[in-house]
């Protein structure tokens, strides 16, 4: 007997925020063949504007990797030099919040749609203005690090490109007629109800409850770092001006849940249970 699965999109939580670099931030670009002013490690830039940005994949990947460790999940799949976690068995997947929220590579017969989409975060107009003409390279600083060869004691200076501390991603951008257009960083979290042969096997409430995974991931990042060179002081970030909106009907405006905006993650976290409970399925 074949099982008929239906997947119903119940609604979407749109979480917007700004990301502030509390220390210099280095999210690596491709160093292949492009040497800019002798810099060894360059950062990723938006091709159109030449401004630094934070790829959604960096944010999502870091949240996932920290959550895997926070939940003690088996690191069972080899990727490049290291290992990551992926559920291979339907039984494991059924109870794995991380794989359900963040997805599993490729299509698996047992997998359900990835709940979370993380969009790229662009340099705010204010930071672009503040940094203009003040930095070593456009919008970035060059940090020299000296590593010492432990055998010969020879110093080996390396140049790292970083977005300076205080830079904000999100905020707004300017339209051609000089109007401020909001462009916050954004995560979209989709809530599904899944039925099999007419029986509900996954309740929408469960997905709403799992929004907590996002909050945990954001907290873990604030205590850790984003991008590279983290253990040497780069990549501390803070989430600012967080707002959660909920949309059930695609034709309707998304409704703000809780406060219009939470200045810090701590304030968002303090009100998070109320926010979750206020989501009307
Ligand atoms: Zn898993």
At residue 137, the 3 state secondary structure works out as strand
Distance 201 CA to ligand 1 centre (A): 18
Distance 96 CA to ligand 1 centre (A): 5
**pLDDT tens digit string along 195-222?**
999 999 999 999 999 999 999 999 999 9
- State the SS3 of 199-264: EEEECHHHHHHCHHHHHHHHHHHHHCCCCCCHHHCCCCEEEEEEEEEEECCCCCCCEEEEEEEEEE
Q: Give CA–CA dist 264/261, Å, rounded.
A: 9
Q: Give CA–CA dist 238/275, Å, rounded.
A: 20
Dihedral angle sign, alpha carbons of residues 132, 133, 138, 141: negative
Distance 110 CA to ligand 1 centre (A): 12
Mean pLDDT of the chain: 91
Distance 166 CA to ligand 1 centre (A): 36
Query: Cα–Cα–Cα angle for 55, 58, 61, nearest 5°?
Result: 140
Distance 278 CA to ligand 1 centre (A): 28
pTM of the entire predicted model: 0.91
Distance 78 CA to ligand 1 centre (A): 14
Distance 271 CA to ligand 1 centre (A): 28
pLDDT at 5: 86
**pLDDT tens digit string along 17-43?**
999 999 999 998 765 545 555 677 889
pLDDT at 33: 47
Q: pLDDT category, 45, cuts 50, 70, 90?
A: very high
Distance 264 CA to ligand 1 centre (A): 30
Distance 98 CA to ligand 1 centre (A): 6
Distance 275 CA to ligand 1 centre (A): 26
The answer to whether residues 43 and 159 touch, using CB atoms and an 8 Å cutoff, is no
pLDDT at 2: 63
Residue ranges of domains in the chain: 5-25+56-124+175-277
**pLDDT tens digit string along 236-249?**
999 999 999 999 99
Distance 245 CA to ligand 1 centre (A): 27
């Amino acid at each position: 007997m074949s099982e008929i699965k239906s997947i119903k999109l119940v609604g979407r939580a749109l979480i917007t925020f700004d990301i502030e670099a509390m220390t210099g931030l280095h999210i690596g670009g491709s160093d292949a063949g492009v040497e800019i002013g002798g810099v060894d490690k360059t950062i990723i830039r938006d091709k159109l504007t030449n401004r630094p940005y934070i790829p959604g994949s960096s944010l999502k990947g870091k949240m996932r990797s920290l959550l895997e460790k926070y939940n003690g999940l088996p690191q069972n799949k080899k990727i490049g030099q290291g290992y990551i976690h992926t559920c291979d068995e339907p039984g494991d997947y059924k109870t794995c919040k991380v794989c359900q929220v963040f997805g599993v590579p490729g299509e698996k017969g047992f997998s359900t749609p990835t709940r979370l989409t993380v969009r790229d975060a662009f340099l705010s107009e204010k930071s672009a203005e503040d940094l203009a003409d003040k930095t070593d390279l456009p919008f970035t600083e060059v940090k020299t690090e000296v590593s010492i060869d432990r055998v010969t004691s020879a110093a080996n200076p390396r140049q790292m490109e970083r977005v300076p501390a205080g830079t904000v991603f999100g905020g707004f951008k300017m339209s051609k007629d000089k109007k401020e257009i909001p462009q916050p960083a954004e995560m979209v979290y989709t809530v599904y109800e899944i039925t099999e042969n007419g029986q509900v096997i996954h309740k929408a409430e469960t997905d709403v409850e799992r929004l907590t995974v996002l909050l945990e991931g954001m907290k873990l990042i604030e205590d850790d770092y984003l991008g590279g060179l983290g253990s040497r002081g780069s990549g501390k970030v803070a989430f600012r001006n967080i707002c959660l909106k909920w949309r059930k009907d695609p034709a309707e405006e998304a409704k703000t849940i809780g406060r219009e905006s939470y200045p810090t993650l701590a304030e968002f976290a303090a009100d998070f249970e109320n926010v979750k409970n206020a989501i009307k399925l």
